[in-house]
Structure 1
Amino acid sequence: MTTVLVVDDQELVRSGFRAILDSAEDLRVVGEAADGIDAVAEADRLRPDVVLMDIRMPRLDGIEATARIVEHLGPTTRVLVLTTFGTEDHVLDALRAGASGFLLKDATSDELVRAVRTVAAGDALLAPAVTRHLVDRLAEPRRLPPGPEYRSLTDREVEVLGLLGRGCSNAEVAEALTISETTAKTHVASILSKLGVRDRVHAVIYVYEHGLDRPDRS
C-alpha cells in the first residue's frame, strides 16, 4: 500500500484528490495539509511514501516545503508537485528543491493515479507540457561545461544519457540500443550514480544544462 499526503490550500481540491487516490486499491491518503508549514510537519509525523504538493500556498510555498521535506526525510518520501502553474521557473525551482515529478492540475484522474504510482516506485516524471517548457528553458545558450563526472561515463552510458535527454523510457532505450530492458536499467542506475543526480528528471536537466543534446558536443 502506497501512502500519500495531500497538500493544497483549498479544502475542496484536497477532498477531490483524496477521493481519486483512495479509489485505487493500492493507494491510501493518510493525511492532508493546507499550507507548507503544516505539510512539513505532517510529512515528518506520517512519513508518507508520496507527498502531493501544491505550489502557491500561505505561510510557506510548496517549493520551500518540498526542499525541507526532501532534506528531512530523504528518499523515503518523494514529492509530486501538482499545480495549475506550468511556467519554466516553477518547474526548475520545484525540481531543484528535490521534487520527483511535476504534473499539471488539468491531468485526468487516471494520470494522477499513474503519476503517484510512478513516483512511489522510485521513478520520476514530467507532464508532456512541462517537459516542453523545461527543454525550451534549458536549451537557451547559457551552458555549463561537463565536469569530470561526465568523462567517467562509458561510451555506452553516454549513448544512454543522450536517450534519457530525449525523454526515452528504459524500454525505449533498450529498443534503440538493442539491449535488454534490465541492462538499460543497470546503465541508467550507473549514470545517475556517476553524475550525482537523484533521478532521471535530473539527468535530463544535466543533459540540457551542459549542452549534451547537441550533436557537435565534445
Structure 2
Amino acid sequence: MRTTPIRVLLVDDHAVMRAGFRLILEGAADVEVVGEASDGAEAVAAASRLAPDVVCMDVQMPVMDGLEATRRIVTDPASTAAVVIVTTFDRDDYLFQALSAGASGFLLKNAGPEDLVSAVRIAAAGDALLAPEVTRRVIARFAGADGAAGAPAHAEGDRGAAGVAARSSVAAAALGAAPGPELTDREAEVLALMADALSNAEIAVRLHIGESTVKTHVSNVLLKLGVRDRVQAVVYAHRHGLA
C-alpha cells in the first residue's frame, strides 16, 4: 500500500483551470500537487525537475502542445511519470495521438471532480484509463469491427474515470492472431472484467482477491494471448467473443 502522497504536475495554459484542478486534487489526502506548467515545454522541464508520479496534461497549448510534451516525458529514461491527457476536446485524432504518444489515459474536462481524483489514483497505481465516452470508439478503431457501434454497451457511466488501459496503440498482428492457450477460469473472469472497463483495484473488489493477485492474472492473460497491453487484451476479448 502506498505510504506517500501521489505527486502531481498540472499542465494547462489557463491559470483558472490549473487553479481549479489544484483545488480538487489537494482536497484528497493522498494527493499532492507539486508543480504547474502553462505549456508543453515548461511541462517537460518541470517533469524532469520535480519527478511527479502523474502529469495531468492539456492538449492545445502554446510553444509545445501536450501531445509532443507527453511523448518527451514518457520516453525520458529518467522519468517514471504517467501522463493523463485532460482536454476539452472529444476528438478522435487527439485521443489516438495521445495513446500513441504513450499517455496512460484520456479524460475530458467535463468529468466530475471525483473522476479527476480517481484518474490520478489509477495512473499512479500503474493502471490506465479512458473516459467512458471514448472506450468503445477505441475498441471499434483498433478491432476494425464495422459492427462495433451496434454491439451491446457496457455499464460504463457509473464507474467514472475507471476504464480500459491505454498505454500504446494496438498491434494489428496481435489482433489478427489465432486464440492462444486456454485461460484458467479465474484468468477468463479477469479478462471479462478488463473488457468491462474495470481497473485492477475494481477487479480485486469484484472477485474478492488481492490487487497483487489481479496484477499476476493480468500479466498471465497478456502473456497467453500474446498481446502487449490491456488495450490489446480488451480488443482481443471482444473480437474473439471472450467478453
TM-score past 0.5 threshold: yes
Match in the other structure for 1:41: 45
User: Match of 1:65, as an amino acid?
Assistant: A
- 2:183 corresponds to 1:155: yes
Match in the other structure for 1:214: 239
Query: 10, 13, 17: which one pairs with 1:6?
Result: 10
Residues 32-84 of structure 1: per-residue CA shift (max 9 Å, x gap): 11111110010000001110000111121111111110111567211111001
In structure 2, C-alpha distance between the alignment counterparts of 1:139 and 1:99, rounded to whole Å: 20
In structure 1, C-alpha distance between the alignment counterparts of 2:239 and 2:179, rounded to whole Å: 16
**1:45-60 equivalent positions in 2, closer than 5 A:** 45-60=49-64
- 2:215 corresponds to 1:185: yes
In the TM superposition, what is the alpha-carbon distance from 1:93 to its structure 2 partner? 1.4
TM-score of the aligned structures, taking structure 1 as reference length: 0.80
Residues 130-166 of structure 1: per-residue CA shift (max 9 Å, x gap): 213222322425993438x987655338734455234
Match in the other structure for 1:115: 119
Larger deviation, residues 17-26 vs 67-76: 67-76
Q: Secondary structure at the match of 2:71?
A: helix
In structure 2, C-alpha distance between the alignment counterparts of 1:25 and 1:175, rounded to whole Å: 22
User: Match of 2:96, as an amino acid?
Assistant: L
Q: 1:84 to 1:205 in 2, by over 3 A?
A: farther
Gaps of 5+ in 2: 147-170
Match in the other structure for 1:19: 23
Q: Percent identity?
A: 46
In structure 1, C-alpha distance between the alignment counterparts of 2:178 and 2:82, rounded to whole Å: 26
- 2:172 corresponds to 1:144: yes
TM-score of the aligned structures, taking structure 2 as reference length: 0.72
In the TM superposition, what is the alpha-carbon distance from 1:180 to its structure 2 partner? 4.0
Match in the other structure for 1:204: 231
Residues 155-195 of structure 1: per-residue CA shift (max 9 Å, x gap): 3387344552342444776799x784554431103344675
Gaps of 5+ in 1: none
**Count of aligned residue pairs for this structure pair:** 210
User: Match of 1:88, as an amino acid?
Assistant: D
In structure 1, C-alpha distance between the alignment counterparts of 2:180 and 2:79, rounded to whole Å: 25
- RMSD, aligned CA: 3.2
User: Match of 2:194, as an amino acid?
Assistant: L
Query: 165, 184, 203: which one pairs with 2:195?
Result: 165
Match in the other structure for 1:131: 135
User: Match of 2:174, as an amino acid?
Assistant: P
User: Match of 1:102, as an amino acid?
Assistant: F
In structure 2, C-alpha distance between the alignment counterparts of 1:2 and 1:174, rounded to whole Å: 21
Query: Are the equivalent residues in 2 in contact too, given 1:50–1:116 (CA < 8 A)?
Result: yes
Match in the other structure for 2:165: none
User: Match of 1:111, as an amino acid?
Assistant: D
Larger deviation, residues 42-51 vs 54-63: 54-63
